[in-house]
Each structure stands twice: as structure tokens, then as C-alpha cells.
Amino acid sequence: MNWLSTLPHCVVYGKPLMAGLLVFGNIGTWIAYMAIPVAIEIVRRRRGIPFNYLAGMFAAFILLCGLGHFLDSWAMLSGSPLAYWLEGFNSAATALVSLVTAFYCFHLMPGFLSYPTAHEWKLMKVRLKIYEDRERNRHGLPEPEKQHA
């Protein structure tokens, strides 16, 4: 057994179906992971969203995960030492961003949990409508005109 057979990319050498499956999975995941942060950034730019920076941290985490899938495929297909070095640096960066993001998620948990649920929002809207109708009737005010969307 020579030293080349111990490298991870050599496991799939001569097995095109296995190699194709791994590359397809990694590249497909990479494409999705590049698209998701775009969607996060679009939502993040909306004003009034609390914990906006946390969305940016999630976007960075997802981008780094996606880059890892790309580098995985490159390393497997090329066997290049540079690819493995870049994969290692990316893995370390992903770990760092992941740990910081996880820390902030738990640090901000009380704030997350203080926001009303969708059900609670609906209930508040119903109660507000009942209150408005009662006050309008009590003061003899006409029904407001319906606004069309």
C-alpha cells in the first residue's frame, strides 16, 4: 500500500459513480448555501427587525459551510495540497463563526422569548378590534370604511 492510497480523495479513485455522487451532493449544497445568505440579507435590510446582526452571523456561518462543500469537492477531484490547506482554514473559520453564533443565540434567548407568538399576535388583534368596536359604538361613531389592499 503506498501513501497515496491513504489520502481521502483516493477512496473514490476509479469509482466514478461514487465520486459523481459526492461531487453532485457537495456542489448542490454549495449552490444552496450561497443562495440562502442572499435571502437572509434581503430580510436583514428590512428596518425594525430585532437582532439584525445575528442574521448576519447566520449568513456568515452558512457561507462558510457552503464554501466547505465546494472545497471538499475541489480537494477530492484535484488532490491538491492547497485545496486541503484551504479546506482546513475554512473549517477553522467555520468553527469560530459557529461558536460565536451559538454563544449569541443563547445569550439573546431571553429577548427572543419575550416576543409574542403568532397566535398571541392574532389574539391581540382580535381583542383590539373588539375594543375599537365597543368604543366606537359607545361614542356613536360610524364604522370606518374598509381599506382595499
Give the tens place of pLDDT for each residue, 22-52.
888 889 899 999 998 888 888 888 777 777 7
Confidence of residue 99 (pLDDT cuts 50, 70, 90): very high
The residue whose grid cell reads 495540497 is 81
Rounded to 5 degrees, φ, ψ at 77 are -80, -35
Q: Would 69 be classed as within a structural domain?
A: yes
Length of the chain: 149
Q: Angle at the Cα of 54 (from 108 to 120), degrees rounded to 5? A: 60
Residue 49 in any domain: the answer is yes
Domain for residue 138, yes or no?
no
In a domain, 127, yes or no: no
Specify the pLDDT at position 12.
61
Tell me whether residue 101 is in a domain: yes
What percent of the chain is helix, strand and coil (3-state, nearest 5)? 80, 0, 20
| Domains held by the chain: number | 1
Distance CA 47, CA 35 (A): 22
Range of the domain at 18: 3-115
Please check whether residue 129 lies inside any domain of the structure.
Answer: no
Query: Is there a domain that residue 81 lies in?
Result: yes
Band of residue 131 on the pLDDT scale cut at 50, 70, 90: very high
CB 59 within 8 A of CB 37: yes
Identity at 21, one-letter amino acid code: L
Is residue 144 assigned to a domain? no
In sequence order, what are the residues at sequence separation of 6 or more whose Cβ sits closer than 8 angstroms to the Cβ of residue 43?
A: 49, 55
pLDDT confidence of residue 23 = 82
